[in-house]
Structure 1
Amino acid sequence: MSAAPRAERPYVEPPLDGRKDEISCITLLGFAFLTYNSVTAAYRSIHDLWALSFVLVAYVDLVSLFWCLRQFERSNQRHKVRLKVAVWFLTTLLATMFSYKVASVMPWPVAVIVWFVGFASIIGGFYAFFVYREPPIHQTANVNKL
């Protein structure tokens, strides 16, 4: 017995959950951990201007990235384009900064690999955010055949 195929329905975004405005304990714990580590790293590098700048820029970048991601989840389609640009820029800055820091203490063959991986992630992120278009989702029923 063969069942007739069901009409395909377009994908409908799920309704926004009312709890998305709440901040979970895990989020607060992660933010507190990031802040504590950043403060201790800044304190240890207080006499090295470049290291202190790295710590402060990385902290501000991460906090901005998390804020942008949260706004992205709650925003409408028009604002998502701008937030995608901001997220890509912030992740590019982080990848470049950390690639520079890691590559500076590695021998040159490993440094080349580190820079390659950093640039590959930047290019991959650009492709995923701005070039790739996901095919439409087709919702079909699972039909059990007897």
Structure 2
Amino acid sequence: MSPLERWSLHLAALAAAGTGLMDGLLRWFGVRAGEFGPEPHPWLPAAQHLHVLTAPLLLFALGMAVRGHLQIKLKKGPEGRRTGLGAAFLIAPMVLSGYAVQVVTSPAWRTVFSWAHGLSAGLFLLAYLGHLFIPHAQVELRTTADRRAS
């Protein structure tokens, strides 16, 4: 994976996660008392539009990462970090539920897909951050110890 691809992925993940968190927080905690009852926060439409615009950038960057990083690691065998594999398995539910939220017409299904999107995106973000911040040395020590034990 080239440095340009790596930084594209990091920036796209930051943008999508930031706008998604902002959208979720404004949606759940930004309800205000209006003249005729509860009203959504005035910034909610902007947060939602920004998230819908930045999410395809993340999807494109994830596609580059699958081609340039994940496939190579999977061919090498089970010596990689589990956080990366966990993040990879969460891509499909996150993306598919995000698109489903936009296209379903039933409020009940929109709620189901919203929860699925929020949970899968939150778990993806945790796995992605774990993958970034768990040092390679711990993985190398574990694989070396496994080799010695066998």
TM over 0.5: no
Structure number having the greater helix percentage: 2
More contact order relative to length (CA 8 Å, sep ≥ 6): 1
